[in-house]
Structure 1
Amino acid sequence: MSAAWILGLTGGIGSGKSAAAQHFIELGVHAVDADHAARWVVEPDRPALTQIVAHFGTGILQAGGQLDRAALRARIFQHPEERRWLEALLHPLIRQEIITNLAKAESAYAILVSPLLVESGQHLLTQRVLVVDTSEQLQLQRTMQRDHASAEQVQAILKAQASREERLRHADDVLLNDRDINWIQAEVERLHRFYLTLRTGQA
């Protein structure tokens, strides 16, 4: 079997990206989640965590030696230069982890699920990009409800992500998710049938 081509799947927070990814997985598509890769590279036994602690201090660790993500997030959202430092350390490690996992695909195509597909340059690992899109108002509403977060917290995350326009500029396909779960699943099935006809990710 020839190597799987790679579909990049992205969308802003609260867009329904995870629900779409889950349905692709249920249809038998191999998926790699960039967030999982990002978590794995900062596990306690990994060199990245040692460097993060050396830079930020032990205040960003939980009692058990795990990374305290909330503490780290608070630090980097207030200091853009700290966020850039962290990204410079982690992005190459995450990228390698993603490449290794995508290579294990046995489906006709594989999916790289990443909220920062465009911002991190991970779209360069893909042959095609699918953007799950929705209005900013719906993103706010869904995320506040799901994460019990304030509007300010969600808006800070939205600001750190690529703008809707920027994401759409990179899209080969757009799944507009302004309805319910049945709608998104039907759209995923339609796209899946189409993707199975592609050899290299391009029609």
Structure 2
Amino acid sequence: MLRIALTGGIASGKSFVADEFAALGATIVDSDVLAKEVVEPGTPGLERVVERFGEDIVQPDGSLDRAALGRIIFADEQARADLNAIVHPLVREAATRREETAPEGARVIQVIPLLVETGLHAGFDRIIVVDVPIETQLERLGERNGLSEEDALARIHAQAPRDERIAVASHVIDNSGTREETRARVGEVWEEISRD
């Protein structure tokens, strides 16, 4: 099976691109979705996160208070590393299980936001990078998440720089134009990986 990863900086449009690949027939394994699943109420993942960060990150209904946790980890590099050490192995295990259950001959694309930061890029045959300028990220984070420029920059700088992602890419999708332009580029990349 050809192992394909899709990555990109925060607010680059990975979800839109992944949805476009899914519409073309790709099987999508989204690490962001899995990261939520592995810390749902009652999971060992949530239990370990609470052990590390305390009860203040749990909402009254027992679910993870993502905003509270975000305030901690984006202000403290060690806290972020600790969270990643808990969640990432659980996500990788879940992603592997999903990949193994894909139909024979499927083109499975794993969406992994922190692909470069975690060194996982070495395990993939093809790497698709969704790319936008930092100005676009700032604008989208302000509109989508209501973040101040300072908070948005903290999240952007917590990830690998654009040039590091592009350096490992086998395919780059510029998502700074129109949706139609991005859709056309996704189609081109899909044709290329379908021939592999």
TM-score (norm 2): 0.94
Give ranges in structure 2 of 5+ residues lacking alignment.
Answer: none
Paired residues, number = 195
Query: How far does residue 33 in structure 1 lie from its aligned partner after superposition?
Result: 0.4
* Residue 9 (structure 2) aligns with: 12
* Residue 67 (structure 1) aligns with: 64
Query: How far does residue 20 in structure 1 lie from its aligned partner after superposition?
Result: 0.8
Query: How far does residue 88 in structure 1 lie from its aligned partner after superposition?
Result: 1.4
Q: Comparing 53-62 with 118-127, which one deviates more in the overlay?
A: 118-127
Give ranges in structure 1 of 5+ residues lacking alignment.
Answer: 199-203
* Residue 195 (structure 2) aligns with: 197
- Local SS of the residue matching 2:3: strand
CA distance in 2, matches of 1:178, 1:94: 29
Query: How far does residue 124 in structure 1 lie from its aligned partner after superposition?
Result: 3.4
Q: How does 1:150-189 map onto structure 2 within 5 Å?
A: 150-189=148-187
Identity of aligned residues (%): 39
* Residue 201 (structure 1) aligns with: none
Residues 112-169 of structure 1: per-residue CA shift (max 9 Å, x gap): 1121111123323421101111111111112212222211111111010110011111
Structure 1 segments (4+ residues) deviating >3 Å: none
| Pairwise CA RMSD | 1.3
TM-score (norm 1): 0.91
Residues 43-89 of structure 1: per-residue CA shift (max 9 Å, x gap): 11111211221222111100001011111111112221111112112
- Paired AA for residue 77 in structure 1: F
Matched, 1:116 2:114: yes
CA distance in 2, matches of 1:149, 1:79: 18
- Paired AA for residue 161 in structure 1: Q
CA distance in 2, matches of 1:10, 1:125: 14
CA distance in 1, matches of 2:170, 2:113: 16
* Residue 97 (structure 1) aligns with: 94
CA distance in 1, matches of 2:102, 2:95: 12
- Local SS of the residue matching 2:195: coil
Q: Quick check: 1:8–1:112 contact (8 Å CA) kept in 2?
A: yes
